[in-house]
Every structure is written in C-alpha cells, then in structure tokens.
Amino acid sequence: MNIEKDRVVAIHYKLTDDQGAVIDSSEGHGPLTYLHGAQGIIPGLEKALEGHAPGDSLEVTVQPEEAYGEVNPEMIQQVPRAAMAGIDNLAPGMALQADDGSGNVHHVVVKEVGEEMVTIDANHPLAGQVLHFDVTVDSVREATPEEIAHGHVH
C-alpha cells in the first residue's frame, strides 16, 4: 500500500542540519505515526513521502519555506525583566511559555538577559534552517473514518 491522503503512515527518521548534526531521531522511540494529508508533519517531508511504500528509504532536503518558515524578526522582542519575575536563573537558551495578555500562550526562547530588558524569540527553533531527513517507511494503512474526521491517528 502506497502513501496517499487519508492513510496512516509510520516512519523511522533521522533529522540533521546543514552541518550533519543530529537534531532529532525516532531511534529508541519507535516510528513517528501520522495521518497523511492532515498537516501532521512539515509540508516538504509530507510531499516527499507521497507515493512511497513500506520498506522504502529516502533522503529528503526540506527548505525553510516547506518546513518551519524563515525567521520572522517581529517574533523577536524585548520585554521588561520585571515581566519575568519569579523565574529563577533566567539565562539565554531557556525555553519558556509566555502569555501575551490576550489568553494566548506562546513558546519562547530567551536570547539575551540584560539589566532591565530580556530578549525573547517566539520563532520555531528550526525556523530558517534547511532540514535533512533520512527516512524509512515502516508501515502504511487505511485511516479509520474517525481518524479522518478528527484529523489525527488514534
């Protein structure tokens, strides 16, 4: 059975950056399972997997616009350090959840800590990066009507 819309796909993968450093892998975690065509994985990888079958292995390079997008400078902001009151050992690289005041929660990374201001980045950590996947298709099956209706694997 080949990969196409509304099929449940399980893949083993290794994700590396342009320098070959491993960013993520399914090794030791079992395959990644998703509903094909439901935007459960990045578009560039989903397009590359279309038509493949269990046992197929492929190398896929995904440009930022087909992954997590380019870095958006508007998502890098300075906020008063006082807004971070109660956070111990505030340091660059720290991942936080920030409430924008409208009830929306954003995942941000601290980029710089100053005396008065803290620079935070709400871009996806992989924004702006070219991603390299080594993928092996583990299995493909028809999705159930419930999985299709809900847009994800059960």
At 58-95, the pLDDT tens digits run 999 999 999 999 999 999 999 999 888 888 889 999 99
Domains and CATH numbers, the chain: 7-68+127-150 (3.10.50.40), 73-121 (2.40.10.330)
Percent of the chain exceeding pLDDT 90 equals 85
pLDDT at 102: 84
In terms of DSSP bridges, do strands 7-16 and 32-35 run parallel, antiparallel, or are they unpaired?
antiparallel
Nearest to 13 by CA among 58, 64, 50, 62: 58
Please tell me the distance from the alpha carbon of residue 107 to that of residue 105, in angstroms, as a whole number.
7
User: CA-based Rg of the chain, rounded to a whole angstrom?
Assistant: 19
Sheet holding 117-121, edge to edge: 76-80, 117-121, 105-113, 95-99
pLDDT exceeds cutoff 90 at 105: no
